Amino acid sequence: MEIQLIFEETTLSARLDDTVAARSFYDSLPLELTLTDYASTEKISDLAKALPVQSEPKGYQPKAGDITYYAPWGNLAIFYKNFGYASGLVRLGEISDDIQLLRKSGCLIFISLNMASAMLISVLYPLLILSQQRLHYWS
């Protein structure tokens, strides 16, 4: 599942894992969040609803670029530095682009998260219908 994180003029691509928690997060998109710096290691934001984590591992050791969910607090955490194992941390996916923007320590970052494939489908679907109509007209 491909998503986009949009920070002002910058768009970062990310891929979510094929897990129950990641699919639930994907289904909640689009979202607009304010990320705040936490422990000079990650950017965090509360989510409106809890993600299902019953089938997920009990913890995770994140690396820079990981998109995670911290179940005890119910927040999204995007890591810009590697970190040690944390109980209750669930990996959702990872950012595939350069995460330098996230390293701005102490600042608030306003982001939009979108389903990359859904946006592509919404653009291509009308074109497909239009081409089918043209083919039908000329046949």
Residues 1-40: tens digit of each pLDDT? 888 888 777 888 899 999 999 999 998 888 888 888 899 8
131 or 37, higher pLDDT: 37
Do the bridges between strand 31-38 and strand 10-16 make them parallel or antiparallel, or are there none, so unpaired? unpaired
Q: How many domains does the chain have?
A: 1
Look at phi and psi of residue 39 and say left if phi exceeds 0, alpha if psi is from -120 to 50, else beta. Answer: left
Residue 40 Ramachandran class (φ > 0 left, ψ -120 to 50 alpha, else beta): left
Question: Which pLDDT value is given to residue 138?
Answer: 38
CATH of the domain at 10: 2.40.100.20
Q: In 3D, which of 78, 27, 79 has the Cα closest to residue 49?
A: 27
d(CA 45, CA 61) in angstroms, rounded, equals: 19
127, pLDDT greater than 80: no
Contacts of 86 (CB under 8 A, 6+ apart): 59, 60, 61, 62, 70
Put residue 115 in one of left, alpha, beta given phi > 0 → left and psi -120 to 50 → alpha: beta
Q: Give me the domain span that covers residue 84.
A: 2-138
Which residues lie across from 66 on neighbouring strands?
A: 94
**pLDDT at residue 75 in the model:** 95
Task: Flag whether pLDDT at 131 surpasses 80.
Answer: no
Look up residue 135 and give its amino acid: L
